[in-house]
């Protein structure tokens, strides 16, 4: 056992659950308005809501663990037991002065695939004024970690690696889907929290300490999840959880390059990543250079880009540094100078999914910008992408024409018309578009011919070639020319799952 926190975490979670310290009960207890104050970091609003209920057990827990205000030792003992409070004081995770106790760490819970997951971590700055997380800060439940959980498949695997696990949220999120889970981190305090969270959630994890892939040298996995310290900046470490010490986007590159070596064939790496936009350099070509020439299928899904100035100021605020302060000004100048020297103009970030395929096959890299709203869970979409790519990998143009297809349920057809200026009256069709209403919600514009042919597809019906042949005959078109024009848009529609080959949808 790494820490006494591991010993008390299961009992502490039992108490929190019993008293209702869960998202659903907190919302009911505080009311929607005060509950919304949690996300906005407004402790006074919450305390005001509790003003006539301060002695109630749940109110005591909210004041102690959510707002981090002082709570009478006697009150805390009555809810948590004196033993737990004394252990927290001994560990330095709580402070006592004049019989008033202040809790110095966070406990949060979140629903993942219908399961309530509890996470112990360092206290963030959301509720405590002038609190600046230290260099060795251990993150809890954040937007980045939840987004990676949403982009990781939940199909069963045997061996899973959570690389740079931090407090262990990725490992815990994947727990029902993996036979064995190894969680690694270079940061011992993070592993202390991961072990405590493992115990609190009754999920067995194998905890290993070390840098990057060193703790799993020579081992291969069916699935690797990684939320690495991907902040793009100078090769320095200001905060362990976000700074890798590698220059610019070196952390993402390292995880991708080395992660491939630790994947079994058909194994997948799922990570968050960032990449630098540099003058006279293509970002798709940049990330493609991280992939070996053979044996890999990779998908980079860029969710957003920001200019270098916005990026620097955002991350300064993340560590509670005011860009207007002297320190903020110095850090801004240093960071932007580094970007200027490296010719960095912007930074992109998003999801990275990498699958190990047959080493004799040429690698394939897809880089896409998906900035529009997507489903809250896209892990199945990412897994299906590799199924679609494998099908395309094994088909030439003739085989694509001879296949039968399934128009995905939920695809919307948009036929947009605008004022017909030429006629001087009425409307004229301007754009015809097919859009998915699930997953990554891809959208494709097309002409009337392709849309009509797609409408004639059925998984148990005619092949694409046969449908196109009938359409060409009835509309006076030349068949071979139509076949040639069809291939590229049909491949794109398959890649994005708008139409699906019938032979991969059997049993769906």
Q: What is the pLDDT of residues 164-193, one digit of tens each?
A: 999 999 999 999 999 999 999 998 999 999
Q: Which two tokens stand for residue 146?
A: 């939840």
Share of the chain above pLDDT 90, in %: 76
Q: What is the pLDDT of residue 240?
A: 56
Burial class (CB within 10 angstroms; exposed 0-12, middle 13-18, buried 19+) of 435: middle
Residue 1 has pLDDT above 70, yes or no: no
Residues contacting residue 158 through CB under 8 Å, at least 6 positions apart: 178, 179, 180, 222
Task: Return the DSSP state at 408.
Answer: P
The per-residue pLDDT for range 410-453, each reduced to its tens digit, is 999 999 989 988 888 888 888 999 999 999 999 999 999 999 99
Q: What is the C-alpha to C-alpha distance for residues 247 and 374, in angstroms, rounded to an integer? A: 31
Quickly list H helices, 214-295: 250-261, 283-288
Give the model's confidence band at 155: pLDDT under 50 very low, under 70 low, under 90 confident, else very high. very high
Q: Which two tokens stand for residue 375?
A: 């489903």
**How many degrees, rounded to 5, is the angle at CA 426 between CA 424 and CA 427?**
110
Per the CB < 8 A criterion, the answer to whether 436 and 498 are in contact is yes
> Worst-scoring range by mean pLDDT, 49-58, 344-353, 366-375, 488-497?
49-58
Per the CB < 8 A criterion, the answer to whether 49 and 31 are in contact is yes
Give the model's confidence band at 470: pLDDT under 50 very low, under 70 low, under 90 confident, else very high. very high
Structural domains in the chain?
A: 4-103 (no CATH), 143-393 (3.40.50.150), 397-504 (1.10.10)
The pLDDT of 87-116, averaged and rounded, is: 93
Cβ atoms within 10 A of the Cβ of 12, count?
22
The pLDDT of 389-393, averaged and rounded, is: 96
Residue 242 has pLDDT above 60, yes or no: no
Share of the chain above pLDDT 70, in %: 97
Q: What is the C-alpha to C-alpha distance for residues 488 and 447, in angstroms, rounded to an integer? A: 13
Average pLDDT, the chain: 92
- Burial code (b: 16+ CB inside 10 Å, e: under 16) for 243-270 equals bbebbbbebbbbbbeebbebbeeebbbb
Q: Which two tokens stand for residue 241?
A: 């959880």
Q: Which two tokens stand for residue 185?
A: 């981190």
With CA atoms as reference, report the closest residue to 169 among 190, 145, 187, 205: 145
Residue 271 has pLDDT above 70, yes or no: yes
Q: Computed over its alpha carbons, how large is the radius of gyration of the chain?
A: 27
Compute the 3-state secondary structure of the chain and give helix, strand, coil in percent, each to the nearest 5: 40, 25, 35
The pLDDT of 283-287, averaged and rounded, is: 94
Cβ atoms within 10 A of the Cβ of 458, count?
13
Task: For 4, list phi and psi in degrees, rounded to 5.
Answer: -65, -20
Q: What is the pLDDT of residue 508?
A: 59
The per-residue pLDDT for range 183-233, each reduced to its tens digit, is 999 989 999 999 999 999 999 999 999 999 999 999 999 999 999 877 888
Q: Which two tokens stand for residue 6?
A: 């591991």
Residues contacting residue 406 through CB under 8 Å, at least 6 positions apart: 457, 458, 459, 499, 500, 501, 502, 505
Task: For 297, list phi and psi in degrees, rounded to 5.
Answer: -115, 120
The pLDDT of 49-57, averaged and rounded, is: 91
Per the CB < 8 A criterion, the answer to whether 401 and 486 are in contact is yes
What 3-state DSSP class applies to 272? Answer: strand
Residue with tokens 């963030």: 124
Residue 484 has pLDDT above 70, yes or no: yes
DSSP per residue, 76-132: HHHHH-HHHHHHHHHTTSEEEETTEEEE-EEEEEEEETTEEEEEEEE--SSSSTT--
Residue 244 has pLDDT above 80, yes or no: no
Per the CB < 8 A criterion, the answer to whether 130 and 187 are in contact is no
Per the CB < 8 A criterion, the answer to whether 467 and 477 are in contact is no
Residues contacting residue 284 through CB under 8 Å, at least 6 positions apart: 300, 365, 367
Give the model's confidence band at 246: pLDDT under 50 very low, under 70 low, under 90 confident, else very high. confident
HEC secondary structure over 446-504:
CCHHHHHHHHCCCCCCCCHHHHHHHHHHHHCCCHHHHHHHHHHHHHHHHHCCCEEEHHH
What 3-state DSSP class applies to 25? Answer: helix
Residue with tokens 């003058």: 279
The per-residue pLDDT for range 295-326, each reduced to its tens digit, is 999 999 999 999 999 998 888 887 777 788 88
Q: How many residues does the chain have?
A: 508
């Amino acid at each position: 056992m790494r820490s006494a926190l591991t010993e008390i975490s299961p009992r502490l979670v039992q108490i929190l659950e019993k008293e209702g310290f869960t998202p659903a009960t907190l919302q009911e207890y505080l009311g929607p308005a005060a509950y919304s104050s949690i996300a906005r970091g407004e402790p006074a609003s919450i305390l005001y809501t509790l003003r006539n209920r301060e002695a109630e057990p749940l109110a005591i827990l909210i004041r102690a663990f959510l707002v981090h205000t002082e709570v009478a030792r006697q009150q805390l003992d009555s809810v948590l037991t004196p033993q737990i409070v004394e252990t927290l004081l001994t560990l330095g995770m709580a402070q006592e002065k004049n019989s008033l106790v202040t809790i110095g760490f966070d406990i949060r819970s979140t629903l993942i695939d219908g399961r309530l997951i509890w996470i112990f971590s360092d206290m963030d700055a959301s509720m405590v004024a002038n609190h600046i997380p230290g260099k060795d800060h251990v993150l809890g439940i954040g937007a980045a970690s939840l987004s990676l959980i949403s982009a990781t498949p939940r199909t069963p695997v045997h061996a899973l690696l959570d690389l740079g696990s931090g407090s262990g949220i990725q490992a815990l999120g994947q727990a029902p889907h993996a036979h064995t889970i190894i969680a690694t981190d270079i940061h011992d305090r993070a592993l202390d929290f991961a072990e405590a969270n493992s115990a609190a959630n009754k999920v067995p994890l194998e905890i290993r300490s070390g840098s990057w892939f060193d703790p799993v040298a020579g081992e291969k996995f069916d699935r690797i999840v990684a939320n690495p310290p991907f902040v793009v900046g100078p090769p320095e470490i200001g905060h362990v959880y976000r700074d890798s010490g590698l220059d610019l986007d070196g952390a993402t590159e390292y995880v991708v390059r080395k992660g491939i070596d630790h994947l079994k064939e058909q194994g997948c790496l799922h990570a968050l990543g960032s990449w630098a936009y540099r003058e006279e350099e293509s970002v798709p070509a940049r990330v493609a250079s991280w992939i070996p020439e053979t044996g890999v299928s990779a998908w980079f899904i860029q969710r957003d880009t920001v200019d270098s100035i916005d990026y620097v100021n955002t991350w300064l605020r993340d560590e509670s540094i005011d860009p207007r302060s002297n320190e903020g000004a110095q850090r801004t100048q240093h960071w932007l100078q580094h970007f200027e020297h490296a010719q960095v103009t912007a930074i992109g970030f998003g999801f990275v999914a990498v699958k190990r395929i047959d080493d004799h096959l040429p690698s394939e890299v897809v880089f896409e910008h998906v900035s529009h709203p997507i489903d809250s869970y896209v892990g199945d979409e990412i897994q299906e992408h590799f199924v679609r790519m494998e099908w395309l990998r094994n088909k030439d143009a003739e085989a694509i024409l001879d296949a039968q297809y399934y128009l995905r349920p939920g695809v919307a057809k948009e036929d947009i018309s605008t004022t017909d200026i030429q006629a001087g009256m009425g409307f004229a069709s301007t754009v015809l578009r097919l859009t998915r209403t699930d997953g990554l919600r891809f959208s494709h514009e097309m002409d009337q011919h392709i849309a009509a042919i797609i409408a004639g597809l059925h998984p148990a019906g005619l092949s694409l070639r046969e449908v196109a042949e009938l359409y060409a005959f009835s509309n006076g078109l030349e068949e071979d020319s139509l076949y040639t024009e069809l291939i590229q848009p049909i491949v794109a529609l398959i890649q994005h799952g708008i139409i699906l080959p019938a032979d991969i949808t059997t049993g769906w």
